[in-house]
């Protein structure tokens, strides 16, 4: 007869299989599924997610968890099983009060809303998307009450993406970033800008793709455990460590969109590819939080991909793919051009200096929505005003404003803070890494990124969800969330580039 532990592990593995199927369908929906199949695919997703939801809140699962918690059993379980049970208990406690039919309808709604968002964005037509968003916001407001919260309502949503962090902590960190970055951005805006016109020469998509694959290979991305595809909004998805897929977006008049987007998503993918294989089939086999996940993508995009030493190695390779575009451009001019900073409207194309301000705007709007301080109909004007207040610019239409990001269409409220937190974490990790790899720039200069990936795997990747984000940060850097490293890095870098 099976032991209770084995029954539990088999049950969790079954749940992981459902989630892998859901992930694969989600990838397909975003990478070219026929428009006429979206509605039916949404129903399929709804069924799979509902079955998974029912399994994860069933009486059978509750009984298994209770039996494993018996004193005579708990002490015999290994660390992985104990951590897995703790995650299952937390998930059960959170979701058992959600009405199953409402959850199923919500999954169907969000799968259809994502397609509606694509059309609305292309047409800059917020009114066509707002009915979907109103229902999504309504569900998330009810969700907060269903799962419960302490302090601020938004804490319930934060816990889904960044367990252990609260509005109080994020308000403090984001306040420090605003105080330091807003005046620096203003100073740079008023300074002489580096020349950038050579960035916008025609760069064929197929050659961008070839260069992107070369960069992923240099980063140690395993193409036998993944692939690179095209999508409207770049993302990476980890089905399991042996199947982690990257997508990017190509702009033939601005190669940076694809190259830095690919490096960014490649950072996510390295995390998922290098989780300890023993965690496959458990609920621990994924990144511990979206903030830690973003620390990996933003570390590679900025601390590697925008580093002068990285381009000392890769600039000549880029020239080979670019058909003469950069032949008369010095490495120094190229470096300054790809690091040009200043107010912009599109988050995924923002420079690393202003990037956090884009996130803070979304965070403040989400809090206001969840609190009922604003409604969906108020979003376009509220969005435009915040961009004016914080960045000094105003969108000319909603396609480059409130509709630019996909996240709200699939209900990811509480997700956005992780982007700025990820940049804060990345700066902290870089400081910790330098103690072990003081030759960091030399490694980039030599094109030897393996020691960097190995360091990240040792300290971050391998653990999956075995460690919480707070534990990982403390164990690796010796401190909690600390914005000072990012502020110092950005101040020194951009004061240097702009000779301030």
CA–CA gap between residue 272 and residue 266 (Å, rounded): 10
312 in a known ligand binding site: no
Decide if 265 is catalytic.
Answer: yes
Rg, the chain, Cα only: 23
8 A C-beta contact, residue 295 and residue 271: no
Q: How far apart are the first and last CA of the chain?
A: 73
Catalytic residue among 209, 265, 272, 301: 265
Phi, psi for residue 248 in degrees, rounded to 5: -145, 175
5 in a known ligand binding site: no
8 A C-beta contact, residue 128 and residue 119: yes
8 A C-beta contact, residue 473 and residue 479: yes
DSSP one-letter string for 146-212: HH--SSSTHHHHHHHHSTT--HHHHHHHHHHHHHHHHHHHHHHHTSPPPP-GGGGS---HHHHHHHH
Nearest CA to 261 out of 285, 231, 240, 241 is that of 231
> What angle, rounded to 10 degrees, do the helices at 417-436 and 154-161 form?
40
CB atoms closer than 10 angstroms to residue 75: 8
Nearest CA to 407 out of 122, 34, 136 is that of 136
397 in a known ligand binding site: no
Residues at the annotated binding site for Zn(2+)?
264, 268, 294
* Active site residues per annotation: 265
């Amino acid at each position: 007869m099976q032991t209770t532990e084995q029954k539990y592990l088999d049950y969790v593995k079954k749940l992981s299989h459902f989630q892998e199927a859901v992930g694969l369908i989600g990838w397909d929906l975003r990478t070219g599924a026929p428009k006429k199949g979206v509605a039916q695919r949404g129903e399929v997703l709804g069924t799979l997610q509902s079955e998974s939801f029912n399994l994860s809140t069933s009486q059978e699962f509750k009984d298994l968890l209770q039996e494993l918690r018996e004193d005579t059993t708990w002490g015999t379980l290994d660390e992985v099983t104990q951590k897995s049970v703790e995650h299952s208990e937390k998930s059960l406690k959170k979701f058992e009060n959600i009405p199953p039919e409402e959850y199923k309808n919500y999954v169907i709604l969000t799968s259809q809303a994502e397609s509606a968002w694509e059309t609305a964005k292309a047409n800059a037509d917020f009114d066509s998307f707002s009915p979907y968003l109103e229902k999504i916001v309504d569900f998330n407001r009810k969700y907060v009450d269903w799962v419960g919260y302490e302090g601020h309502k938004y804490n319930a949503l934060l816990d889904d993406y960044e367990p252990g962090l609260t509005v109080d902590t994020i308000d403090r960190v984001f306040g420090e970033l605003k105080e330091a970055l807003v005046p620096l951005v203003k100073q740079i805006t008023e300074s002489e800008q580096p020349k950038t016109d050579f960035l916008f020469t025609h760069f064929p998509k197929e050659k961008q793709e070839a260069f992107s694959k070369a960069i992923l290979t240099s980063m140690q991305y395993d193409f036998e455990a993944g692939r690179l595809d095209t999508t409207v909004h770049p993302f990476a998805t980890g089905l399991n460590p042996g199947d982690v897929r990257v997508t990017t977006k190509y702009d033939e008049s601005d190669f940076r969109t694809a190259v830095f987007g690919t490096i960014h998503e490649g950072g996510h993918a390295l995390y998922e590819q290098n989780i300890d294989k023993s965690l496959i089939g458990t609920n621990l086999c994924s990144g511990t939080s979206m903030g830690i996940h973003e620390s990996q993508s933003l570390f590679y995009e900025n601390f590697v991909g925008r580093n002068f030493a990285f381009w000392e190695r890769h600039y000549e390779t880029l020239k080979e793919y670019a058909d003469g575009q950069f032949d008369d451009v010095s490495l120094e001019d190229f470096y300054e051009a790809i690091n040009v900073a200043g107010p912009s409207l599109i988050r995924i194309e923002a420079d690393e200096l202003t990037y956090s301000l884009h996130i803070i705007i979304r965070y403040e709007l989400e809090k206001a929505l969840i609190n009922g301080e604003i409604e969906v109909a108020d979003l376009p004007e509220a969005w435009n005003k915040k961009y004016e207040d914080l960045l000094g610019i105003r969108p000319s239409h909603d396609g480059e404003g409130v509709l630019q990001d996909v996240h709200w269409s699939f209900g990811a409220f509480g997700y956005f803070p992780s982007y700025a937190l990820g940049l804060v974490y990345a700066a902290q990790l870089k400081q910790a890494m330098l103690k072990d790899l003081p030759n960091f720039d030399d490694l980039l200069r030599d094109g030897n990124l393996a020691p960097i990936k190995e360091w990240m795997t040792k300290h971050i990747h391998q653990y999956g969800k075995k460690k919480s984000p707070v534990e990982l940060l403390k164990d690796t850097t010796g401190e909690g969330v600390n914005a000072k490293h990012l502020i110092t890095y950005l101040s020194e870098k951009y004061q240097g580039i702009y000779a301030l």
